[in-house]
Structure 1
Amino acid sequence: MWTRVLAAFCLVLLTAPLSAQTKPKAFRVGFINPDTAIQAHPNYPKLKSVQDQAEKELKPLRDQINQLGQKARSGPLSAKDQQGLQSLQKALQDATKKWNERVSTVAKPLLDDIDKEVKKVAEANGFQVVMDFKVAKASSLVVYAAPDSDVTPLVVKELKK
């Protein structure tokens, strides 16, 4: 019996230094500023052009709605103005939907490219997780991030290759 206890004790003593020397794998979290990455993408000018076209069409509708809204705050709207406001709101809703679809169609390939580069950079630099910096900060999920956890410059470099 004592020999078994002694053998088990020796086994523990022999393996203890090995387990003590084995360091746990570091867990690295990285952050990216997606706006910077999108603007660095070679096809960003095409996306920006579509966004500018959308704004050119949507801004006058918003301005007209705001004017009628100010008018409504100073007193009741006439039946004609109420009908006009409803028509403008419907036109803005329809135009916004149309432009959101167009922008999404143009943005999708850019975002897919950025996702591929983020994955490549993360794997090459030992990051297990890469988070959107603005989302993490706004949600108070992250209080501090070391400067070397920002993978944005590395992703931008890859996008420009």
Structure 2
Amino acid sequence: MRNWTILAMTAFLLLGGTLLAQNRPTPTRVGYVDAEKVVQAHKDFKKVQDIRNQAERELKPLRDQIQALEAKIRAGNATAKDQQDYRIAAQSLQEAGKKWTERANTALKPITEEIDKVIARIAQQQGFAIILDKKVAATSGLVVYAAEELEITDAVIKALPK
């Protein structure tokens, strides 16, 4: 008899827990955020911008050199040395661009991770099931209309650490 009572209580607790879980509201709202605006509002974004500015200062002379050599090549006035210089400059530009992209991405990663956590917290608090990037959704054609009250950009910016 005692085993039946324990079994019945266990079944009640399991089924009761399942019923309670089913009564919990499931978020169904879809919202959006201007991710670029949020990233630019982050307190550490200046570090990323500084890296991009350094990259531009380093890469601009290479781009200018390549453009001048391309003009000679197109006009048919390029010597063998010009063509070799063009290949070397193009390879240098590619390698330097990769280096600067990696540096910028390294600086950007903790920013985006922190922003993702803030977005998740706000989405849960406001009952959103999905948050889309505003620009990606619009340019991809995924979303053609979204009500303004579904945008959480300002809320995310206000919730970012100062």
The TM-score, its normalising length taken from structure 1, stands at 0.80
CA contact (8 A) 2:27 2:129 kept: no
**Alpha-carbon distance, 1:70 to partner:** 2.0
- Look up the SS of the partner of 1:29 in the other structure: strand
CA contact (8 A) 1:121 1:154 kept: yes
CA RMSD after TM alignment: 1.7
Q: Is 1:151 aligned to 2:140, yes or no?
A: no
Deviation string 1:80-121 (CA, Å, 9 cap, x unpaired) is 110000000110011011111111111111000110011011
CA contact (8 A) 1:65 1:89 kept: yes
- Aligned sequence identity (%): 45
- Look up the SS of the partner of 2:103 in the other structure: helix
**In structure 1, what is the Cα distance between the partners aligned to 2:96 and 2:76?**
29
The TM-score, its normalising length taken from structure 2, stands at 0.80
**In structure 2, what is the Cα distance between the partners aligned to 1:39 and 1:121?**
19
- Look up the SS of the partner of 1:130 in the other structure: strand
**In structure 1, what is the Cα distance between the partners aligned to 2:35 and 2:53?**
19
List structure 1 runs of 4+ shifted beyond 6 angstroms: none
**In structure 2, what is the Cα distance between the partners aligned to 1:76 and 1:140?**
46
CA contact (8 A) 1:40 1:160 kept: no
Unaligned residue ranges in structure 1 (runs of 5+)? 1-21
Unaligned residue ranges in structure 2 (runs of 5+)? 1-22
**In structure 2, what is the Cα distance between the partners aligned to 1:103 and 1:25?**
38
**In structure 1, what is the Cα distance between the partners aligned to 2:26 and 2:104?**
41
Q: Is 1:29 aligned to 2:30, yes or no?
A: yes
Residue pairs, 1:108-123, within 5 angstroms:
108-123=109-124
Residue pairs, 1:132-151, within 5 angstroms:
132-151=133-152
**In structure 2, what is the Cα distance between the partners aligned to 1:66 and 1:119?**
45
